[in-house]
Chains A and B, each alone.
Chain A
């Protein structure tokens, strides 16, 4: 995943979380003068069709907090962009200028916004814009602006026929790309493209069984169709089978817990089946913290519902023993958590 990020030429930042998270990689930022298109480059100042425009240099005010050394090409393109923006010029040449500017800095959202203004004013062929974006997204798959622009264009066209393929390609390069998944979910929800999504998810989980994004997508799809008891039953089998392959898989265990909640009142057959499955794993020597955490949950719930004192004692001892094992052997780093869980349980028992 990191690898495909590194290889995304021209990507200078990942934008995640609250702010723009810049995970700049040393040496990965290509200076605009040394890239592949410098040979045919004709400066704007030497182009006849731009002779009428007076470029506007960056004005940082009297006391610049920032003194910026632009590469000559970068400076020129943005000086012309500022001039075009100042005149609100919406023309074919202005559209092409935004493409140059975005090639130099695809994360500059002001340029994207102005590009949309131009596209609207010119009533441009938006399918051409989609083709253009295929390329830009390929090179800048972790950039907020490109995905957002894509979404606006798809909305303007009211045509989502290319979105599943686009995101599939992006996910082939990085199967956890948050932007691609977001865009895919948006397209699926907005244009009702749920139909074949489950088989897509199946394929991704088969390729990478620990892919949390794919497991999340599975939940997203099934929640849309509804968790009927058949679906719950089927999903539990599916997940248990995946856990048999890789036992210490956080995503699969979380998914199992999420599905199980859809079984009525939590005491049905599925619960019994999952419990036997977990105990079987435990007996065979598996000590994955996820398995143990799951067993603790199951025993605890059962114990608190159990009215028979002897039964309840057996279960509570299991919970305490497992918590103890976690904090002392299998999950020492989180021992405070396990001590807390044991404490909580003690209180719950007292209140019972």
Chain B
């Protein structure tokens, strides 16, 4: 398949209807581009509190599709600047909201993609992130003190992207905390010590170990087996035993296996088919699974997973940071990735 031969949106997918094996490339571009432009989009208004992440999902997906120029760089950067909290240095999802480490990562990721870190006060971000680390090495998500391995990932991802991991946090303790969330029964990770293994949190912990160059701490064979057990007969992957498959879990399992050098342990072809059936051929966008309503979140992870699977016409994505690989290269960052055995 060659996307360069696809016409632009005017005669979208003309002869692709009902063929689930094709990627509705231009429909997805249109879907992301129009996301938020729709005046009646109730979903959009209900998700104001995660706007920053919404923009990151859209920007990244469009860049992976080589269509970044469809969004207005200047207004996005202006928006991000307005969201930086002058007191704490963290980023809010939207003006009028409180800062949180989740949106701080999204903001930094967008700025890196636009090569625009100089537009904000990076020192303040470093202070914000290091201030969230606790004595046991864990991280708060914000001043309210929720602890979660997601926040450990966010912290090291932000500092890595800013090139400020050295001397800003206690990395050894951070690693110790993450490893204390590893479960002896299945080799996976949960949100806190003792919490059930969960593919999304495994991605956070494996990604964390990749960024701190400590993948040797993983029981790769055991965790790899659990992860590839997530593949169901539909080809899709679930996030926990006995749960339904989902495009976003497919990304989390797939990226974890890629970081661990074990992508080949699952059937890429079947997964690709599953992801393609989750496209909405009318509106564009991907849903969590076949037949459901698409949203921007699953659209990024659908596109991202296809990129990892080597789908033609998509830029390479970095499995650890879920950002275009060329951006990671430009920053000179090298998250650890294990080689195929």
Contact = CB atoms under 8 A, between A and B. Distances in A.
B48 A108 contact: yes
Interface stretch (A123-131, A251-259, A311-319): A251-259
A181 interface: yes
B155 interface: no
A271 to B, nearest CB: 17
B200 A21 contact: yes
Contact count band on B: 35 or more
Contacts of B98: 109-110, 113
Interface in B115-160: 144-146, 150, 153-154
Interface residues of A, number: 75
A105 B46 CA distance: 7
A12 B46 contact: yes
Given A19-B53, A148-B144, A337-B265, A213 B42 contact: no
A25 interface: yes
Given A19-B102, A23-B288, A212-B241, A334 B194 contact: no
Interface stretch (B2-10, B33-41, B169-177, B331-339): B33-41
A251 B292 CA distance: 29
A144 to B, nearest CB: 8
Given A17-B203, A69-B39, A109-B100, A26 B47 contact: no
A346 interface: no
Nearest to B37: A67
B293 to A, nearest CB: 4
A88 interface: no
Interface in A306-352: 333-334, 336-337, 340-341, 343-344
Contact of A67 (B39, B239, B241): B39
B13 interface: no
Interface stretch (B14-22, B74-82, B302-310, B311-319): B74-82
A189 to B, nearest CB: 8
Contacts of B41: 68-69
Interface string A1-31: 1100000000011001111111111100101
Contacts of A215: 185
A110 B295 CA distance: 23
Nearest to B224: A337
A250 B264 contact: no
Contacts of A337: 224-225, 228, 262, 265
Given A20-B53, A216-B183, A336 B76 contact: no
Contacts of A25: 292-293
A216 B197 contact: yes
B153 A18 contact: yes
A258 B225 contact: no
B299 to A, nearest CB: 11
A238 interface: no
Nearest to B194: A220
Given A25-B292, A67-B39, A68-B48, A110 B144 contact: no
B243 interface: yes
Contacts of A65: 36, 55, 72, 75-76, 79
Contacts of B42: 29, 31, 69, 71
A334 B271 CA distance: 13
Interface in A68-83: 68-71, 74, 82
A1 B243 contact: yes
A68 B45 contact: yes
A223 B194 contact: yes
B95 A251 contact: no
Nearest to A68: B45
Interface of A: 1-2, 12-13, 16-26, 29, 31, 58-59, 61, 63, 65-71, 74, 82, 85, 105, 107-110, 113, 116, 144, 148, 151-152, 176, 178, 181-182, 185-186, 189, 210-213, 215-217, 219-220, 223, 250-251, 254-255, 257-258, 261, 293, 333-334, 336-337, 340-341, 343-344
Interface of B: 36-37, 39-51, 53, 55, 57, 72, 75-76, 78-79, 82, 95-98, 100, 102, 106, 144-146, 150, 153-154, 183-186, 190-192, 194-201, 203-204, 221, 224-226, 228-229, 231, 239-244, 246, 248-249, 252, 262, 264-267, 270, 288, 292-293, 295, 297-298, 341
19 contacts: A12-B46, A17-B249, A18-B150, A18-B203, A19-B50, A19-B297, A21-B248, A24-B293, A25-B293, A65-B75, A66-B44, A110-B97, A113-B144, A151-B146, A185-B194, A250-B241, A334-B228, A337-B262, A344-B221
Which 5 A-B residue pairings sit nearest by Cβ, starting from the closest? A17-B200, A258-B185, A26-B293, A216-B196, A68-B45
